[in-house]
Amino acid sequence: MLNSYNLIGKRALVTGAASGIGLATVERLARSGAAVAINDLPSNEKLETQVHRLRDEELTVIAAPGDIGSAASAQLVVARATEELGGLDYLFNNAGTPATRKPIPPSDLEALTDEFWHRILSVNLMSAFWVTKAAVAALQSSKGSVVNTVSVSAFSGGASSTAYATAKAGLAGLTRELARGLAPDVRVNGIGPGYVNSSWECSFGDLEADARVHVPLQRVGQPEDYAEVGVFLAVSALYVTGQVWIVDGGLRL
């Protein structure tokens, strides 16, 4: 049974939220009464589609398009969201990219070009810093919270690439340091997803078959599984900060 929240009057920004974990988080927040700014790339047609769909359900959502893999764009996204929402209570740094359609073996160093590293680090690590920095005044004013989408690869590798696993390890560290720097006014935590059933750019083959063998709960995690934990950390876990909660069905046991 899902936790029940009354978030009427609360305001949230979710990055990378036109699909997957981000969209599930938006729906969880909006159905609990929050007003939510949905960020994704300006070129992503899914963004407007999802905004219209949720508005048709009489949920309070706005579009906040922008490529937050750029510091300047990240600032504009936050400025637009906070202005339209009238402030900010919750920030979900969920945006991420593998920047490859097939996993890159750890031995293939030639594939890890400078350009590849730059995109991976900008979107998966630096964006969380840029967005949080831009939002910090609003979050301090509301005594709000931040949740970062990390990854189990931050702790055990095995991701779409060495660069991705490294960026997520950095995000785990950033979560800890932001929690120190923004306390006591703002809590900062993260979730560490395992297998996810979503339209991820990188294909890992038959995840369901793999999960039945390697995941004790014998299934792939749904976006709603991760959204539930992320929203709990943002809203209810009032004495938790600086933590990354692993949500992987027991994969790392």
Residues annotated as catalytic are 164
DSSP string, 105-165: PTT-GGG--HHHHHHHHIIIIIHHHHHHHHHHHHHHHHT-EEEEE--THHHH--SS-HHHH
What is the helix (H) or strand (E) element at residue 35, kind and residue range? strand 35-38
Residue 11 buriedness (CB in 10 A; 0-12 / 13-18 / 19+): buried
- Name the DSSP letter for residue 242: S
* Phi and psi, residue 95, nearest 5°: -60, 140
Tell me which residue has tokens 């009427």. 8
CB 231 within 8 A of CB 146: no
CB 15 within 8 A of CB 127: yes
Tokens at 10, concatenated:
């609360």
Q: Which residues pair with 244 in a beta bridge?
A: 190
CB 182 within 8 A of CB 138: no
Tokens at 79, concatenated:
């400025």
